[in-house]
Amino acid sequence: MKPVRTAVIGCGKIGKTHAEALRTLSCAELVAVCDADARRAEAFAAQFGGRPFSDTEAMLREVHPEAVVIATPHPLHAAPAVRAMEMGIHVLVEKPLAANLRDCDAMLSAARKHGVKLGVISQRRFYEPVLRMKAAIEAGKIGRPMLGVFIMYSWRDAAYYQSDPWRGKWDTEGGGVLVNQSPHMLDLLQWFMGPIDEISGAWANINHPGIEVEDTAVATIRFQSGGLGSIVTSVSQQPGIYTKVHIHGSNGASIGVETDRGATFIAGVSAIGEPALNDIWTIPGEEHLLAEFQAEDRARFRQGDPVVRYHGLQIQDFLQAIREDRPPRVTGEDGRVVVEMFTAIYRSHKEGRPVKLPIAANA
Per-residue pLDDT tens for 119-131? 999 999 999 999 9
Tell me which amino acid residue 169 is.
K
pLDDT level of residue 291 (50, 70, 90 thresholds): very high
Whether the Cβ atoms of residue 216 and residue 233 lie closer than 8 Å to each other: yes
Displacement of CA 88 from its chain's centroid (Å): 24
3-class SS of residue 110: helix
Residues 143 and 129: their CA atoms lie apart, in Å, by 19
Whether the Cβ atoms of residue 65 and residue 49 lie closer than 8 Å to each other: no
Residues 47 and 43: their CA atoms lie apart, in Å, by 6
Give mean pLDDT, residues 221-239.
Answer: 97
User: b/e per residue, 116-142, with b = 16+ CB within 10 A?
Assistant: bbbbbbbbbbbbbbbebbeebbeeebb
pLDDT level of residue 363 (50, 70, 90 thresholds): low
pTM summary value: 0.96
Give mean pLDDT, residues 141-156.
Answer: 98
Helix pair angle (13-22, 306-324), 10° resolution: 60
Q: Give residue 266's pLDDT.
A: 78
Give mean pLDDT, residues 255-268.
Answer: 88
Whether the Cβ atoms of residue 120 and residue 96 lie closer than 8 Å to each other: yes
Please, what is the Cα angle at 88 between 86 and 91, to 5 degrees?
Answer: 85
Q: How far is CA 251 from CA 4, 137, 248, 255, in A?
A: 46, 12, 8, 12
Cα of first residue to Cα of last residue in the chain, in angstroms, is 44
Domains in the chain, please, with CATH?
A: 4-123+312-330 (3.40.50.720), 125-303+339-348 (3.30.360.10)
Q: Give residue 168's pLDDT.
A: 95
